[in-house]
Amino acid sequence: MTLTNVTLHYFNFKTKPSTAGFGENLNLLLKDAGVDFKYVRFDYWNWHQDRVDFAKNKNIPHLTLPLVEIDGVSYNKTVPTMRFLSKKLGKYTGDNDEEEYRLDAVADIVRDHFGSYIELFVSTDQEKLKEHFENDTKKYLAAYNNIYGENDGAYILGDEISYADFLVYHILDEDNYALRDHFELIEKDYPNVARFIKTFIQRPKLADYLASLKN
């Protein structure tokens, strides 16, 4: 299915990279799918003011960002929206109930991972960040290494990428810049994760975008 008139709405955190936060998960999925979409960013610190105007004519019980509009209809909450988009696009989902369960479980692991990091999201305390990496990030790297070792392919379900793979890539990119500052360690101690990352960053519709973020 082709998606039309698509707009992704999310925050801009002035002191963080443009990829910071949950919106990047949807940004990656939409880019990979080749969807033509607009990306509208709100200043996080002014959201309490902008929210009032933005909420008008949005039939959503609890307005949060990220939010995706498709032909004027709004969808929010990160993982449910990713699942919804995946079904509409006819890709990024499992082929059966067992595979869908596995993807849901990984999505929950990523949520737990982010929960361990949220208090440090804007932190510059290097000691706390280092402690978090040693005590939390490595624990999740070990979990992901097991997950990515269950199949012969580079992704959770094998050779085909899923919405949960976007979640894993982004949390590793965001948490303490694990992919930038600790990739040698990942290659050494978590080879299945390294294989996934190397494959992910070469995806045809993402490679140039991801490379541009390093500049």
The identity of residue 156, as a single letter, is I
Residue 138, domain member (yes or no): yes
Last residue in a domain, options 35, 57, 89: 89
Residue 58 and residue 116 in one domain: no
Residue 117 and residue 199 in one domain: yes
- In the prediction, which pLDDT does 30 show? 99
- In the prediction, which pLDDT does 103 show? 99
Instruction: Please say whether the beta carbons of 29 and 206 come within 8 A.
Output: no
Residue 191, domain member (yes or no): yes
Residue 187, domain member (yes or no): yes
Rounded Cα–Cα distance for residues 14 and 174 (Å)? 15
Residue 101, domain member (yes or no): yes
Closest of 171, 74, 65, 76 to residue 120, by C-alpha: 171
CATH code at position 185: 1.20.1050.10
Query: Rounded to two decimals, what is the model's pTM?
Result: 0.95
Contacts 24+ apart (CB under 8 A), 71-80: 71/4, 71/5, 72/5, 78/22, 78/25, 78/26, 79/107, 79/111, 79/163, 79/167
Residue 214, domain member (yes or no): no
Angle at which helix 138-147 crosses helix 163-174, to 10 degrees, equals 150
Q: How many domains does the chain have?
A: 2
Residue 107 and residue 189 in one domain: yes
Report which DSSP code applies to 212. H
Residue 184 and residue 107 in one domain: yes
- In the prediction, which pLDDT does 119 show? 84
- In the prediction, which pLDDT does 120 show? 83
Ranges of the chain with pLDDT below 50: none
Last residue in a domain, options 89, 116, 136: 89
Domain that holds residue 182: 97-207
Last residue in a domain, options 51, 72, 89: 89
Residue 109, domain member (yes or no): yes
Residue 105, domain member (yes or no): yes
Helical (H) or strand (E) element with 70: strand 67-70
- In the prediction, which pLDDT does 126 show? 86
Beta-carbon contacts of 98 under 8 Å, excluding residues fewer than 6 positions away, are none
- In the prediction, which pLDDT does 177 show? 66
